[in-house]
């Protein structure tokens, strides 16, 4: 991003903050209508105009209905899509839309008073709602509403626009009605501290509220949720309601969920060691040491084969061994080496995603395709499970559905790991974090990537720089306090300076962070309020870069992990 564009972005941030402070509030009244036309893109791009041909409608991911806008910025265009909306003079309107992506803007111009805009930095994972308000001038009869991304950023999505206020006379989509109460509320998997709930989707609902004992404890956009922070061996009553811009439905019929007794690892993974080391094995040659699976040192307990590839079928993945790039490594040798690792008590899983991975699981159909294709790979090659390393966002509702289906097919020994970026695990409200909590009963470990991120907030609210013991311990603390079992938390680091753009730390720093979290020793300035002796262990990218450095990482971290309490 060049300096001029950076300045424009900074001004937009200031403007958005000013709007928040000014509080240009205006509550829609009962007689108000949605003055936007084709607000959910169910009629394609009708009534909308997108700059430089940047817009298109897609069937996935959507927030509501069957379609949404996908607009793709370029280096010289922000992919602005706009519509002229009829309004009344001297009136207040509330503008909102659901968006997904990074640097997505929503605004109104030509208001006759103060034009408005708001934006979300986003991470590309899941829809979030943008909202602002404006007042029209004494002679204003139309305004332009718009959304856009930012120069050179990935495509963004937008859906379900609304311009609520007095009827401007230009027509528009019908105002929503209060949705019906959800039906089919059911209790799914439970742990000693959580209960998973699911229910039937409600037509015209844009969200759902989850109630525990009559008190609202969560708001979600999908038709499932996991309530955490519960006591072991205790019964709880749950209800859900559906919401949209018109209001909230009555609560559903109540169901009772009972947590399990405390003790033991709540997740899956069968016989994975209490303390384990995970390493990614590269199915490609990028300058690191080319390896066969048999070359991976015994210090690695879980080997994640990187990566499966997207297919033309939504959500489905495939795997092709790069025999030519790996010096003639054959499929038969590959399968035999996996079997030999099994005989040695090791686990080999298929990793989905990576930096360039484009797999999208955003509806029930793609979730089923994902689960079926992953399980097929498990049967074909002998993989013990799956690793989720999607760095371009995921949908917690449908990824949860897919992973639970894989576990149901593979049984209790199925290994499920995740490798989110640091930004994806900053809050339990993030899609990656929600997915981890949703599958807590079958999750083996989350090996968050403590690299390529810059400075981040720790669980104490302070900012820590990557490459330090404090960075590892204070960010791990967010997961440990946010609902994951300590046995489901691992520290992901590069094996060498060549393994990542930034964030490499020496094995001694990794070991110090492990000691701080499990024993309360070797801490830096940050010291957790309690110790977590069952912390799972550590992960590295990659076994190949480790080999390039003489296996210095696994030779030091492996024995240390296996000697943890």
Cα-atom radius of gyration of the chain, to the nearest Å?
25
Q: What is the pLDDT of residue 30?
A: 44
Distance of alpha carbon 444 from alpha carbon 410, whole angstroms: 14
The angle formed by the CA atoms of residues 513, 515 and 519, to the nearest 5 degrees, is 135
Task: Give one word for 124, left, alpha or beta, with left for phi > 0 and alpha for psi -120 to 50.
Answer: left
Q: Cα–Cα distance between 339 and 384 in angstroms, integer?
A: 10
Which two three-digit tokens encode residue 361?
């699981």
**Cβ 106 vs Cβ 77: under 8 Å:** no
More confident residue, 466 or 64: 466
- Higher model confidence: residue 533 or residue 176? 533
Q: How far apart are CA 300 and CA 215, in angstroms?
A: 46
More confident residue, 416 or 170: 416
- At 223 the pLDDT is 82
Annotated catalytic residue within 42, 248, 391, 431:
391
Residue of 346, 402, 397, 400 lying closest to 374 (CA atoms): 402
CB-hemisphere CA count at 13 Å for 245?
25
pLDDT > 90: percent of the chain: 63
Reported as a pLDDT band with limits 50, 70 and 90, residue 61 is: confident
Residue-range domains of the chain with CATH: 3-165 (2.60.120.260), 186-258 (2.60.40.10), 276-562 (3.20.20.80)
- Residue 279: pLDDT above 80? yes
Q: Summarize the confidence of residues 96-100 as an average pLDDT.
A: 91
Beta-carbon-side half-sphere exposure of residue 496 (alpha carbons within 13 Å):
16
Torsion of CA 536, 537, 542, 544, to 10 degrees: -110
SS3 220: strand
- Non-local (6+) Cβ contacts of 301 within 8 A are 272, 273, 276, 277, 278, 346, 347, 537
Distance in Å from the first CA to the final CA of the chain: 47
pLDDT of residue 135: 95
Token pair in block for residue 82: 């706009």
Are 427 and 123 in contact by the 8 Å Cβ rule? The answer is: no
Separation of alpha carbons 303 and 156, rounded Å: 34
Q: CA 211, 215, 216 angle in degrees (round to 5)?
A: 55
Closest CA to 494 of 425, 444, 445, 548: 548
Q: Please compute the mean of the pLDDT values over residues 338-349 and round it to a whole number.
A: 95
Label the pairing between strands 92-100 and 68-71. unpaired
What is residue 467's DSSP assignment?
Answer: T
Task: Please check whether residue 421 is in contact with residue 389, taking contact to mean a CB–CB distance below 8 angstroms.
Answer: no
Question: Which three-class secondary structure state does DSSP give residue 8?
Answer: helix
220-264 pLDDT, tens digit per residue, is: 877 888 887 788 788 899 999 998 877 899 999 999 988 876 555
Q: What is the SS3 assignment for 13-27?
A: HHHHHHHHHHCCCCC
At 552, the pLDDT band (50, 70, 90 cuts) reads: very high
Q: What's the pLDDT score for residue 266?
A: 64
**Residue with structure tokens 């003790």?**
263
Amino acid 22: pLDDT: 36
Most confident of 4-13, 130-139, 182-191: 130-139
d(CA 337, CA 348): 10
Dihedral sign for Cα 313, 317, 320, 325, please: positive
248 in active site: no
Task: Identify whether the C-beta of residue 556 lies closer than 8 Å to the C-beta of residue 509.
Answer: no
Q: Where is 98: in which H helix or E strand?
A: strand 92-100
10 confidence band (pLDDT: 50, 70, 90): very low
- What is the predicted pLDDT for the residue at 174? 67
The answer on pLDDT for 11 being more than 70 is: no
- In this predicted structure, what is the pLDDT of residue 382? 95
**Residues in contact with 268: Cβ distance below 8 Å, sequence separation at least 6, in sequence order:** 407, 412, 413, 414, 415, 416, 441, 442, 443, 444
Structure-token pair, residue 114: 């103060």
Pairing of strands 385-390, 347-354: parallel
- Per-residue pLDDT band for 295 (boundaries 50, 70, 90) equals very high
| Token pair 């070797």 in the structure block, residue | 522
Split at pLDDT 50, 70, 90, the class of 8 is very low
CA distance readout (Å), 296 to 50, 278, 282: 51, 11, 11
Cis omega before residue 61 (within 30°)?
Answer: yes
| 515 within 8 A of 258, measured Cβ to Cβ | no
Structure tokens at 477: 């603390």
Helices (H), 287-430: 331-343, 364-381, 396-410
| Secondary structure class of 483 (helix, strand, coil) | coil
Q: Tell which wins on pLDDT, 92 or 122.
A: 92
Task: Identify which of 491, 488, 388 has the alpha carbon closest to the alpha carbon of residue 444.
Answer: 488
Does 356 or 424 have the greater pLDDT score?
A: 424
Segment among 80-89, 117-126, 464-473 with least mean pLDDT: 117-126
């Amino acid at each position: 991003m060049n300096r001029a564009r950076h300045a424009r972005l900074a001004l937009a941030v200031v403007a958005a903050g000013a709007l928040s402070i000014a509080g240009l509030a205006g509550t829609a009244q009962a007689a108000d209508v949605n003055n936007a036309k084709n607000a959910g893109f169910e009629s394609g791009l009708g009534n909308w105009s997108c700059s430089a041909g940047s817009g298109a409608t897609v069937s996935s991911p959507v927030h509501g209905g069957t379609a949404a806008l996908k607009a793709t910025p370029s280096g010289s265009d922000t992919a602005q899509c706009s519509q002229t909306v009829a309004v009344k003079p001297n009136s207040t309107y509330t503008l909102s839309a659901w968006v997904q992506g990074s640097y997505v803007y929503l605004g109104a111009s030509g208001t006759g008073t103060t034009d408005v805009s708001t934006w979300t930095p986003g991470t590309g994972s899941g829809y979030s709602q943008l909202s602002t308000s404006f007042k029209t001038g004494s002679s204003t009869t139309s305004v332009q509403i718009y959304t856009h991304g930012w120069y050179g950023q990935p495509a963004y999505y937008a859906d379900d626009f609304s311009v609520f206020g007095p009827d401007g006379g230009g027509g528009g989509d019908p105002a929503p009605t209060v949705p019906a109460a959800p039906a089919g509320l059911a209790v799914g998997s439970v742990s000693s501290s959580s209960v998973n709930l699911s229910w039937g989707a409600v037509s015209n609902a844009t969200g759902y509220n989850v109630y525990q004992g009559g008190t609202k404890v969560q708001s979600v956009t999908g038709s499932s949720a996991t309530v955490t922070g519960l006591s072991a061996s205790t019964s709880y009553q749950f209800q859900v309601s559906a919401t949209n811009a018109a209001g909230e439905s009555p609560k559903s019929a109540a169901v009772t969920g009972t947590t399990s007794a405390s003790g033991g690892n709540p997740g899956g993974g069968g016989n994975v060691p209490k303390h384990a080391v995970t390493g990614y094995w590269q199915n490609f040659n990028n300058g690191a040491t080319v390896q066969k699976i048999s070359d991976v040192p015994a210090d690695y307990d879980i080997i994640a084969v990187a990566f499966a590839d997207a297919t033309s079928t939504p959500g489905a993945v495939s795997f092709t061994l790069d025999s030519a790039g790996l010096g003639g490594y054959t499929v038969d040798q590959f399968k035999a080496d996996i079997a030999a690792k099994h005989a040695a008590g090791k686990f080999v899983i298929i990793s989905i995603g990576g930096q360039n991975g484009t797999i999208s699981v955003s509806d029930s159909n793609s979730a089923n395709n994902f689960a079926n294709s992953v399980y097929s790979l498990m049967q074909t090659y002998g993989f013990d499970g799956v690793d989720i390393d999607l760095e371009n966002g995921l949908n917690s509702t449908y990824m949860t559905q897919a992973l639970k289906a894989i576990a149901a097919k593979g049984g209790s020994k199925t290994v499920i790991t995740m490798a989110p970026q640091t930004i994806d695990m900053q809050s339990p409200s993030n899609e990656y974090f929600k997915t981890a909590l949703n599958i807590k009963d079958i999750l083996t470990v989350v090996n968050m990537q403590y690299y390529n991120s810059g400075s981040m907030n720790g669980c104490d609210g302070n900012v820590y720089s990557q490459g330090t013991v404090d960075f590892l311990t204070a960010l791990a603390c967010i997961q440990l306090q946010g609902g994951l079992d300590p046995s489901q938390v691992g520290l992901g680091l590069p094996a060498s300076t060549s393994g990542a753009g930034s964030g490499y730390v020496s094995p001694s720093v990794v070991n110090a962070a492990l000691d701080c979290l499990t024993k309360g020793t070797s801490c830096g300035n940050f010291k957790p309020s309690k110790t977590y002796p069952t912390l799972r262990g550590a992960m590295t990218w990659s076994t190949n870069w480790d080999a390039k450095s003489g296996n210095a990482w696994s030779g030091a971290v492996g024995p240390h992990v296996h000697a943890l309490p």
